[in-house]
């Protein structure tokens, strides 16, 4: 009999670069928007408990990993099916296999994650893992710090290879900046109010530096761990929405 730890799924065998996962412990954190922000209507501040440990991929899914998935399955992305001029294969900037794959939809994210025996993370899971026990605006502190993320001021208008910035306390890289990451509806707390819709977290390489002028007495900060667009009452993105900075991270 072959020991269980030697058994590999066909997905893992097919992928040339299977993602690495980090175990996230169970625990609680405060999640939600300030009461003066529109997003507080669907995502008010409250104590959220993650009852069981789970795993999250250490890095954003890369071009090389997604290419291996496509080669193994023949998968065609939503952007390619629609005949878009820009897709993950031709994003409009120089491509490298260690960049996070972009122009991804929630459908694309779900297909990739399912293939490797994982899934798209719930919104609360993503934020809990990104914060890694911190209570500050960013997981490293209160202000933008280029040691931790790729954003408008330190990139050449394109995503950068994953894993080159400092990780958070739980060993996850690029949880802010580089590519936005899809999250799914459900879980203990979410800004997604339409079943089957998704949202995006973490900001991207295209996000501008802080600070922005105050709005309703609150300093606007668009790269953060809360909802991607705090000025909206909810975060219902269609499953086929895609953009130059929409990427993937998987949970299991």
Q: Is the pLDDT of residue 164 over 60?
A: yes
As a whole number, mean pLDDT of residues 140-157 equals 93
Calculate mean pLDDT across residues 144-156: 94
Residue 212 is predicted with a pLDDT of 67
Minimum mean pLDDT among 21-25, 31-35, 60-64, 182-186: which range? Answer: 31-35
Sign of the CA dihedral with 54 first, then 159, 247, and 16 last: negative
31-68 tens-digit pLDDT: 998 888 888 888 999 999 999 999 999 999 999 999 99
Percent of the chain with pLDDT over 70: 89
Instruction: Report the alpha-carbon distance of residue 19 to residue 105 in Å, rounded.
Output: 19
Mean pLDDT score of the chain, rounded to an integer?
A: 90
3-state secondary structure of 202: coil
Q: Is the pLDDT of residue 11 over 80?
A: no
User: Band of the pLDDT at 163, cuts 50, 70, 90?
Assistant: very high
Q: Which CATH class is domain 8-252?
A: alpha beta
**H helices within the chain, ranges in order?**
10-14, 63-73, 78-81, 106-115, 123-131
The pair of three-digit structure tokens given for residue 78, joined into one six-digit string: 């939503």
Q: Average the pLDDT over each of 44-53, 79-88, 118-127, 233-242 and give the range with the smallest value.
A: 233-242
Dihedral (CA of 142, 144, 145, 148) sign: positive
Residue 181 Cα to chain centre, angstroms: 2
What is the value of pTM for the model shown?
A: 0.90
Radius of gyration from C-alpha coordinates of the chain: 18
Picking from 45-54, 131-140, 226-235, which range would have the lowest pLDDT averaged per residue? 226-235
């Amino acid at each position: 009999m072959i020991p269980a730890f030697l058994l590999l799924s066909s997905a893992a065998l097919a992928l040339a670069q299977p993602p690495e996962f980090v175990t996230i412990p169970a625990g609680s954190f405060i999640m939600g928007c300030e009461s003066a922000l529109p997003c507080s209507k669907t995502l008010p501040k409250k104590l959220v408990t993650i009852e069981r440990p789970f795993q999250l991929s250490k890095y954003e899914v890369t071009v090389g990993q997604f290419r291996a998935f496509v080669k193994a399955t023949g998968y065609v992305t939503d952007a390619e099916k629609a005949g878009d001029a820009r897709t993950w294969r031709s994003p409009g900037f120089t491509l490298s296999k260690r960049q996070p794959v972009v122009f991804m939809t929630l459908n694309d994210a779900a297909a990739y994650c399912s293939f490797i025996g994982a899934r798209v993370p719930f919104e609360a899971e993503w934020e809990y893992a990104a914060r890694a026990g911190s209570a500050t605006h960013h997981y490293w502190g209160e202000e933008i710090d280029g040691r931790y993320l790729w954003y408008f001021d330190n990139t050449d208008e394109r995503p950068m290879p994953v894993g080159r910035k400092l990780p958070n306390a739980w060993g996850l890289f690029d949880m802010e900046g580089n590519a936005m990451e899809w999250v799914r509806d459900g879980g203990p707390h979410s800004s997604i109010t339409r079943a089957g819709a998704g949202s995006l977290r973490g900001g991207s390489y295209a996000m501008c530096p802080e600070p922005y002028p105050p709005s309703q007495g609150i300093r606007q900060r668009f790269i953060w761990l809360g909802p991607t667009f705090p000025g909206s009452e909810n975060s219902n993105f269609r499953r086929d929405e895609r953009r130059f900075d929409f990427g993937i991270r998987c949970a299991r």
